[in-house]
Amino acid sequence: MRVAQLIVLGLGTGAFLLIATLGFALIRRVEGFLNIAHAELMSVAAFVTWFLNSSLGWHFALAALVAITVTALIALVIARLIYDPIKHLGPPILLITSVGVAFLLHGITSAVIGVGIRSFEIPRFDAWTVGGLLITPYRIALLALAAVVSVGLALFLNKTRTGKSIRAIAINRELAGSRGINVTRATRATWLAAGMLAGLGGVALGVLGTLTTDIAFQQILVILAVAIVAGLGSLYGVIAAAFIVAIAMDLSLLILPGGYRPVIAFAIVIVVLLVRPQGVAGSREDVMA
Amino acid sequence: MNWGQLAITVVTLVSILGVVTLVLNMQYGQAGMINFGVVAYVAAGAYTYVLLTQPPPSEASLDQYAIGLDLPVWVGFIGAALAGLAFAALTGWPTLRLRGEYLALTTFAFAEVFHSFIVNEQRFANGTRGLVGVPRPYREELAFIDYDILLAGVALLFLAIVYFIFERMVRSPYGRALEALRDDELALVTSGKRSTRFRMEIFLFTAPFAAMAGAFYIWYTTLAIPDLFTAEMTFIVWIALILGGEGSNRGALIGITLVILFEELIRAIPFETIRAAQIAASLEVAALGVLLIVFLRWQPFAALTRTRRRVLRS
């Protein structure tokens, strides 16, 4: 029974991780580097929502919508001002720069917000009992949201003109450009999409629990774990990986204190790197040195 | 403000973190490996040193740590170096045969995991509380001289030795192979060298020095608390390396000196309220981020420390 309960808990965590990792994986896929600042964008979205909702008294849905839009725009501005001019220096320099961006965003949010624990002004529901298992309405909503986001992203990338051009530049930027695809436009669309996903992840984080300015840093670790288990650069792998990592972390509560959840995520990463470094959905040639 | 005290602090910190910056320069600047968890090797050394040299926990105190072996200082240092080696093997072995970003991710994640282990595991080293007032070796015997100055001198000597070793390595044929590893791996492999083995060797060889720096850090702070070993240390060292121009040991030392001066000067500013101090600390983090972004893009000092080389990697 306890196991079943923890798996149900893990499904909710997995839904959050799925939303949080998709944007990160999208950037890795299209721009070719690991954007460590992704989690700090989540934190920005969470605190913009908190400010509009708790301090200014806006309705939660409106606050979240504005926050997600703002985050998407910030992601785009950062990409254009900071990442684009150094793209020719290669992925390692972009990766280290993204750490600088993470520091910058973290410094600004913690200077503005300060220390302390914050939460959204949203109604608190009692957990429902379904077949003897406790589940909160917010976690069910989050699962539904994760499903909608995943299907939506797949449809966007496969069915729309912009989505198809994003896939094209992910595979070969120069060839796509010479075939008449507007590379600049597709890149901007990618950053807006990744920013929106980060925004959504940040809002989800605030709905599931309380917020501190250090929260993003704790999330990036698990996001990295999910991205590696999925196979770096893979998007569909993220769906499976998010639930694998989440359920493993939540099941670990059976035998370990809660503080060890990141240790579990890391242990999974090591096992994956040893046994199947390409992750659940990557190809082996892409990962070897 | 006491300028003399500030100078001693800066010399000590530059010496200790300078060693860590040199290690990073060997790993990244020379061999092209991104280690985002360098703090873990420092922390491994620091904690190993403490657990080896501390007396066992007494019944009367509130200490919860399980191991305290009360061994001599030199055993502590060797233990620290071995801990660094063990950690390097643990993180390097699964990742170094893979593409570079995997090492970056694994070292980063590993450092966080080790940090959360120190925080959560009371029996390891008292959890968040840590060990406070770790005795400085030979404090009583050396009471006739200023211990702070002595420590600064010893740390500086340690830095000089590490600098000498690394410089000799860089200038040797082995060092040229490492440069090839960074600049043109294909050419290295074509000339019959095994790149994976080179990576592993340099990773294992340099990590113990970071760990020994951790033991010196304990001498300096007399504290073994998790708050001292956060990702911030990793990134401060990275910023120093980028600032000085990666690929140059001299540049690495210039970089760390500038960063430590910047930090200590900010710390010396008195603040009226806790909130003001908190804002200043946050803005310092933001400023370090800006430095990293700006210096990676323009590399203004790189020309001073070495001839500018190809930084492009396809």
Task: Check CB contact under 8 Å for B238 and A257.
Answer: no
Residue B261 in contact with partner chain A when CB distance is under 8 A: no
Instruction: Tell me, yes or no, whether B202 lies in a domain.
Output: yes
Q: Among partner residues A92, A103, A105, which is closest to B235 by beta-carbon distance?
A: A103
Would you say A205 and A211 are in contact if contact means Cβ atoms under 8 Å apart? yes
Q: Collect all residues of chain B within an 8 Å Cβ-Cβ radius of residue A277.
A: 98, 102
Cβ neighbours, 10 Å, residue A256: 14
> Would you tell me which residues 223-262 of chain A have a C-beta closer than 8 angstroms to some C-beta of chain B?
224-225, 227-228, 232, 257, 259-260, 262
* Chain A interface mutation, best of B34, B38, B98, highest count of A Cβ atoms under 10 Å: B98
A218 → chain B, closest CA residue:
B112
Burial A3-34 (b: 16+ CB within 10 A, else e): eeebbbbbbbbbbbbbbbbbbbbbbbbbbbbb
Residue B217 in contact with partner chain A when CB distance is under 8 A: no
β-pair partners for A128: A135
* B232 Cα to chain A: minimum distance (Å): 9
Residue A102 in contact with partner chain B when CB distance is under 8 A: yes
Instruction: Tell me, yes or no, whether B194 lies in a domain.
Output: yes
Q: What's the mean pLDDT in B152-181? A: 91
Residue A177 in contact with partner chain B when CB distance is under 8 A: no
Q: What's the mean pLDDT in A41-66? A: 93
Q: Collect all residues of chain A within an 8 Å Cβ-Cβ radius of residue B99.
A: 286-289
Question: Which residue pairs from A262-266 have beta carbons closer than 8 angstroms and sit at least 24 positions apart in sequence?
Answer: A262/A218, A262/A221, A262/A222, A262/B109, A262/B112, A262/B113, A262/B116, A263/B113, A263/B116, A263/B117, A265/A221, A265/A222, A265/A225, A265/B109, A266/A221, A266/A225, A266/B109, A266/B110, A266/B112, A266/B113
Q: Which positions ≥6 away from A271 have C-beta within 8 Å? A: none
Task: Check CB contact under 8 Å for B99 and A287.
Answer: yes
Q: Collect all residues of chain B within an 8 Å Cβ-Cβ radius of residue A86.
A: 296-297
Instruction: Tell me, yes or no, whether B261 lies in a domain.
Output: no
Q: Collect all residues of chain A within an 8 Å Cβ-Cβ radius of residue B278.
A: 110-111, 114-115
Q: Among partner residues A108, A262, A270, which is closest to B116 by beta-carbon distance?
A: A262
B241 → chain A, closest CA residue:
A96
Per-residue pLDDT band for A78 (boundaries 50, 70, 90) equals very high
Burial class (CB in 10 A: 0-12, 13-18, 19+), B42: buried
ipTM: 0.85
Q: What's the rounded Cα separation, in Å, for the pair A46 and A119?
A: 9
Q: How far is CA A289 from CA B99, B102, B193, in A?
A: 4, 10, 14
Residue A106 in contact with partner chain B when CB distance is under 8 A: yes
Residue B197 has pLDDT above 50, yes or no: yes
What pLDDT sits at residue B301? 64
Domains in chain B: how many in total?
Answer: 1
What pLDDT sits at residue A98? 93
* A141 Cα to chain B: minimum distance (Å): 30
Q: How far is CA A99 from CA A89, A259, A262, B283, in A?
A: 16, 25, 20, 16
Residue B308 has pLDDT above 50, yes or no: no
Instruction: Tell me, yes or no, whether B159 lies in a domain.
Output: yes
Q: What is the pLDDT of residues A173-221, one digit of tens each?
A: 889 888 888 999 999 999 999 999 999 999 999 888 888 888 877 788 8
Instruction: Tell me, yes or no, whether B165 lies in a domain.
Output: yes
Residue B107 in contact with partner chain A when CB distance is under 8 A: no
Q: What's the mean pLDDT in A246-257? A: 87
Residue A77 in contact with partner chain B when CB distance is under 8 A: no
Instruction: Tell me, yes or no, whether B272 lies in a domain.
Output: no
Give the residue numbers spanning the domain of B207: 3-229
Q: What is the pTM of this model?
A: 0.86
Instruction: Tell me, yes or no, whether B37 lies in a domain.
Output: yes
B277 → chain A, closest CA residue:
A111
* B99 Cα to chain A: minimum distance (Å): 4
* A196 Cα to chain B: minimum distance (Å): 23
User: What's the mean per-residue pLDDT of chain B?
Assistant: 84
Residue B235 in contact with partner chain A when CB distance is under 8 A: yes
Q: What percent of chain A has pLDDT over 90?
A: 48
Per-residue pLDDT band for B92 (boundaries 50, 70, 90) equals confident
Q: What is the pLDDT of residues A1-50, one digit of tens each?
A: 788 888 888 898 899 999 999 999 999 999 989 999 999 999 999 999 99
Q: What's the rounded Cα separation, in Å, for the pair B242 and B240?
A: 6
Residues in chain B: 314
Q: Which CATH code is given to the segment(s) A2-286?
A: 1.10.3470
